[in-house]
Amino acid sequence: MQKEKDIIQGCLSGSRRDQELLYRRYAPKLYAVCLQYAGNTEEARDVLQEGFIKIFENLSRYSHEGSFEGWMRRIIVNTALERYRNRYYLSRVDDIDEVGEPEAEPDTDDFAGLEAYDLLNMIMELPPKYRMVFNLYAIEGYSHKEIGEMLGISEGTSKSNLSRARVILQKKVALLTGVTRRMVNV
Kindly state the smallest distance separating residue 127's Cβ from other proteins, in Å: 8
What are the start-end ranges of the H helices in the chain? Answer: 4-12, 16-38, 41-57, 68-85, 96-99, 116-125, 128-134, 144-151, 155-185
3-state secondary structure 66-97: CCHHHHHHHHHHHHHHHHHHCCCCCCCCCCHH
Kindly state the smallest distance separating residue 88's Cβ from other proteins, in Å: 8
For other proteins, give the closer residue by CB, 22 or 157: 22
SS3 180: helix
For other proteins, give the closer residue by CB, 84 or 157: 84
For other proteins, give the closer residue by CB, 78 or 91: 78
Kindly state the smallest distance separating residue 20's Cβ from other proteins, in Å: 6
Kindly state the smallest distance separating residue 98's Cβ from other proteins, in Å: 13
Q: Could you give the CA distance from residue 103 to residue 170 in angstroms, rounded to a whole number?
A: 8
For other proteins, give the closer residue by CB, 69 or 96: 69
Question: Comparing C-alpha atoms, which of 55, 46, 6 is closest to residue 26?
Answer: 55
Kindly state the smallest distance separating residue 160's Cβ from other proteins, in Å: 15
For other proteins, give the closer residue by CB, 36 or 158: 36
Question: Comparing C-alpha atoms, which of 164, 125, 153, 162 is closest to residue 38?
Answer: 125
- 67 neighbors 165 (Cβ within 8 angstroms): no
